[in-house]
A and B are shown apart, each in its own frame.
Chain A
Amino acid sequence: MSDDDALWWAKVRSGGPQRVTPDSAYPAGMTRLVEPDARAVWLLPDLPDNARPDVLEELGLSGFPVDQRGDTARVLASCLRCCWSEPSGPIWPGTSASLDDVAASFRAITDTRDDRARHAALLGAVRRLAASGWVGFDEEQRTVRLGPRVAAWNAAELSTLRELWRSMP
């Protein structure tokens, strides 16, 4: 544990999971998620179970609001359904999926909105999720993959997610 560790923690706190070149940083208490091509490593902080944001629910405190909460959650679910190709295995890094696939999955679990509104909601949510590191979104290729934050889910949460995965079309 050094001052640099504290600095890395502050950076992640400020800017979300940090993407660094392999061998460049080993801050204490952070998981190093290697990109599939091994060209970069994501630094993701490990928090003890009882220091994670869900504690707020227990205490009745509010966290940071998420815009379009429902749609965002549904889009994240759709991304999981498309990108977590093998749910019996680890969730990170998953595979990348086309935005169209995600859109199809999203359509299946949303109400009967018109296509334009749904697409706008999808794009908005994907961008929001991409900004916060839950998914990776390549706007040019129009592909989606899972972001480094998904690796923070623990076993129990993954079990629930697997069930969700199974339940989704």
Chain B
Amino acid sequence: MSTARSAAAGTTGPFDVVGDRVLVGVQVVDISRLSTHPVPVTTQGLVTVAGQGPKDSNGAGKSSFIAALSLLHADEQWRLASGASGAAELLFTAELAAQESRWSNVDRGYLIGVFAMPGATSAEELADDTVTVWLRINRKAPYIDLRWHDGLYVPYGESESDRAGRADEMWRSLPRSNGRTDFHANQLSKVLFGQHARCVSFLSTSVRSSPTANLLAQPLNDLAPQRIFDAIATLTGLDRELDHEQVLRSAEHRHRTTVLDAEKDLADWERDMAVVEAGIARRIKARELLDEARQAWRSRCARHLLDGVEQAHHLRSRLNTLSESIDEIRAEIQGVDDQLAALSDDDGAVRRFDAARKARQELLGRDRELDAGHQAATQNLERLTTRLRELTDAARTTDGRDVETARAEEAEAKTALEEAIAAHGVAKAAEAQARTGIAAAEAGDDVATEQRERLREAGVPAAALVDVVEVAPDERDSWEPRLTPYRHAVVVARADAERARAALADLPGSVVVMAEPAGDEPAADDAATADGATETPATFDLSAFLAAVAQRSGEQAVVDGEAGVLVVGGFTEPITGRASRVAAAESEHRARVAAVEDARAALDTARAALDTAESRTRAARAAEEADAVRSEIAELREANEQRQARRDELAPKLAEAEDVYARELGVRDSRDERIAGLRQTRKRLEHTLSEREAEMFRLTEERDAIGLLDREKAWGDTPEAAEQHLSELGDEQSRTTAEWDEYACRLTNEVAVGCFPPSTPNDEMTAELRELLVTQNWHGGSLETRVGLVQPLQRALRAHLDDTEEHDQHQRQQITEQRTRRSNDLSAARLGLAEAEQTARAHRTSLASGIKAMLTKVGAEFDRLDQEYGGYGAGLDFPEPEPPAEPDKPWRWTVTPKWRRAEGQRMSAYTLRSNTAQMDEKAVKLVCAAALARGGDRPLLLILDELGRNLGKQHRREAVALFERIGNDHNITVVGALQDDMERYAIEASGLYVKLRRRSDTMAYNEEPVIVGDDANRARVQLLRDWLTSYRPGDVAQLGG
């Protein structure tokens, strides 16, 4: 228990200030509406608090009063750890008092408790060992400040305002409880009561910020067995034992965490170090390998040098041989060149050949020329013979005429034809005119055609005179001459004469005869008078005209005697009247058609005569030409015979020239052949020469490429030394350079990979190595590339490995040390854990028996109380729980209350439904049982708002009696707020009766409460009251001194 205490206390400081003292008086300032009067409180037994408000028992602040008592006793329901913010709700609040118009909220209030030793029976004894506890309740956090004072120290004064007014100042003169500040709610329980539970309460909702699970606060069967255990543990003090167990488990947990952390740490570390160690191991291996690789490279260089020496020797001898052979070939070429020169320079032979060829060419040319002439003449002869035959045929139709006669006849025939053509044309024209005359006569358009057209357009009725007048055939000889001057006249009505003249104005020469209007009977007479010239019916009456004409005429042909005009008559056809004019025209036409026929017959005859004359002319000409052709043929035949004679003469000369030429040609061909042969030989020799020279160049290159100096430098010594070195090697002597290359590269690569595994990021290499391995592509390169890189790479790797060697060694050493240390740490942690586990287990074992003993005791008390106060027996089930699987999991005990529902029945668990009153009764009994079982060392306050809530009448009486009994028998004070209907039970059973009073709603604060002790307590109440009110500041001075 001491461990728990110190662990809970943390640092040393005031602890359990109140201790075994009990509350003997309480005074409040600005708490709800409570008055500031000191209220004496009796210990043990029942204290009832009643209210008398303006209307009923409510409104007098009894809930606030008992809430204040519970706060003063550090009841956990106030959530002290988080500051008891609910306490602020106890402060006087104007709104709640409906006084906001007159009062304002208070920012703070005081709750003052006077604690004295329970055994003190006089003022002196009380004063001797008293502690006055001041809680200042603040509207804002921190909600509670704690101070205290040894001895009595309470606000005093005759009036409310006296007492209330002094509170602040008195508070200020108290020393701060926690150095520079005051203790707050979270320290309340510890500082005042050493963390002992001093109070179990059920507070009404008006001052409770949230429903809490506690034995008295809610129906028992709403609580889990685990919570019932918690409640009992709190009441019996087991909670602090359990706290200790929890502390031990925390320690175990800490150890376990340490072990787990150490294990994880070690594992992580080992994983990290595995990488590091692997690197170190690879580098150690690489260092060994590097030596081997360097040896291999050295041997390779020796072998390489010796190879070079041997190769160079071999090449030199080959070069010598080649050089000699080249010289020989050059000499051969020179010989060939000489022969060629000799052959090419033979001029006589050339000349001879040219002459023979020329002579032959000339003779051949002449022969061909003759032959060609002969051929051409022969062709000409054939053509002429054909022509002669044609001409002879054509000359047969001359009819004996020569060319001249024939031509003269032809000219005559032509002239005759032309004349016939002309005659025919004339006849045809006459015929056409006659045909036109017929048409005109038929249409009546043959006289004054134009004039009549104009008049028709002008709308003037008109007609040709000759159409209007008809002459009887026997009168023709006399009338036709008379009318002839008017053959072309038109007739219009006299009335129209002016219009007619206008219409014809631009036709000069037009003759118009004006007629009388037609239809008068006398006109017929006139016609008769006109001696046979009658008008055509109607239309125009020309009788005046005809009469005038007849009158003027004389004898015979004289038509106008007065003027002396004579007209020749004798027209074959009548000139007047249309029918007579048409008949005249047709007769004319027939005569013309006959004339055309005659002309055509004459024309045909002329044409036939011309054809005959022409063919005679042609035949005469052909006869002339045939004579000329015949003489030409004779000439050609003559020339051909002469040519043949000349060719025969030429033949022997030509044969001789051919022979000479053939001989010279043979000579020339054989020489050309020899020259070609020689040239071939020369070409072959030159090819061989260039081949040899190329070979020589190549060998020289090869010799230079061996780089003997470089090889010697790489080896670093003489070839003899190299020989010596190789001879000292065992089987490896026989290795070729290629094999050595391969071997050295492989070893070097192993070293490189050892230093930098393939996945190594490039930026982890030194610049030199990165250049070699990455830039120059060691890893991916061919063997050839690698061989070139071996030496610098070995050097770089050596540098790298040398650089890292010391660090590697150091790191290895450190790793070893660390591994030892960490393993030791882990072992130590494991040991610590084992010990902690053992301690916790041992403590738990002993605690378990302690808990069981305590619960057995509570069970027994529960049974006893139950039977004593109306029950049939009760008990508790409390199976021992398994120890927690993890040290930070709770060790969870449970308690299941049970009781008999009727006499002789088996006990049934509390969870079985029953009426609420019974539940509450059992709950009260259980609380009391726990309180009784706890032992009598500490006072306990049970606070019950609404005392006897839910209890039936019978139970109420029993419950009140129970509380009174328990209180009297044990160190327990039961404080209960009374409901109206409980008052009569309570007053008789109470050791102390407090009645809070407020008569009117207009009063902000209560009046002085009524405080009455029962017979047993009356004196003590009086004593306490006197003592509490006796306090005066002199005491302050006293205390201050």
Contacts and interface: CB of A to CB of B under 8 A. Distances in A.
A and B touch in the complex (CB under 8 A): yes
Interface of A: 48-51, 54-60, 156, 159-160, 162-163, 166-167
Given A49-B85, A59-B184, A166-B100, 17 more contacts: A49-B82, A49-B210, A50-B83, A50-B85, A51-B82, A55-B82, A57-B83, A57-B141, A58-B82, A58-B184, A58-B186, A59-B186, A156-B88, A156-B89, A159-B105, A163-B105, A167-B104
B95 A159 contact: yes
B105 A58 contact: no
B54 interface: no
B287 to A, nearest CB: 54
B93 interface: yes
A48 B85 CA distance: 11
Nearest to B78: A50
Contacts of A166: 100
10 contacts: A48-B210, A54-B85, A54-B140, A56-B141, A57-B140, A58-B82, A58-B83, A58-B142, A159-B93, A163-B104
B822 interface: no
B85 A163 contact: no
Contacts of A56: 141
B300 interface: no
Given A49-B209, A50-B85, A55 B94 contact: no
Contacts of A49: 79, 82, 85-86, 209-210
B79 A50 contact: yes
B100 A60 contact: no
B844 interface: no
A55 B89 contact: no
Interface of B: 79, 81-83, 85-86, 88-89, 93-96, 100, 104-105, 139-143, 181, 184-186, 209-210
A165 to B, nearest CB: 11
Contacts of A57: 83, 140-142
Contacts of B93: 159
A54 B83 CA distance: 9
A160 B38 CA distance: 28
Contacts of B85: 49-50, 54, 156
* Residue with the highest number of chain B CB atoms closer than 10 Å, among A57, A58, A60, A162: A58
A159 B93 CA distance: 8
Given A58-B186, A59-B186, A60-B181, A160 B139 contact: yes
A57 B89 CA distance: 18
A89 to B, nearest CB: 14
A49 B209 CA distance: 9
B11 to A, nearest CB: 14
Nearest to A158: B95
A162 B83 contact: no
A59 B187 CA distance: 10
A66 to B, nearest CB: 16
A54 B141 contact: yes
A99 to B, nearest CB: 29
Contacts of A156: 85, 88-89
B94 A163 contact: yes
Contacts of B83: 50, 54-55, 57-59
* Residue with the highest number of chain A CB atoms closer than 10 Å, among B81, B85, B93, B186: B85
Contacts of B95: 159, 162-163
Nearest to B181: A60
Nearest to B101: A166
Given A57-B141, A58-B184, A58-B185, A50 B82 contact: yes
A54 B181 CA distance: 17
B13 to A, nearest CB: 14
Contacts of A50: 79, 81-83, 85
Nearest to A51: B82
A133 B319 CA distance: 101
A49 B82 CA distance: 9
Contacts of A48: 210
A167 B105 CA distance: 11
Contacts of B185: 58
B137 to A, nearest CB: 12
A167 B186 CA distance: 33
Contact of B143 (A58, A59, A159, A160): A58
Contacts of A162: 95
Contacts of A160: 105, 139
Contacts of B140: 54, 57
B100 A163 contact: yes
A163 to B, nearest CB: 5
Contacts of A55: 82-83, 141
Contacts of B141: 54-58
Contacts of A159: 93, 95-96, 105
A163 B142 CA distance: 20
A59 B84 CA distance: 12
* Residue with the highest number of chain A CB atoms closer than 10 Å, among B104, B140, B141, B143: B141
Contacts of A59: 83, 184, 186
Minimum-distance CB pairs A-B, first 6: A58-B83, A50-B82, A57-B141, A54-B141, A58-B142, A50-B79
Nearest to B178: A60
A7 B722 CA distance: 79
A160 B143 CA distance: 14
A162 B104 CA distance: 11
Contacts of A54: 83, 85, 140-141
Contacts of B181: 60
B163 to A, nearest CB: 24
A158 to B, nearest CB: 10
A71 to B, nearest CB: 19
A163 B139 CA distance: 12
Nearest to A55: B82
A145 B140 CA distance: 25
A56 B141 CA distance: 9
Contacts of B82: 49-51, 55, 58
A69 to B, nearest CB: 14
Nearest to B85: A49
A160 B82 CA distance: 20
A157 B141 CA distance: 11
Nearest to A88: B95
Contacts of A51: 82
Nearest to A166: B100
B739 to A, nearest CB: 68
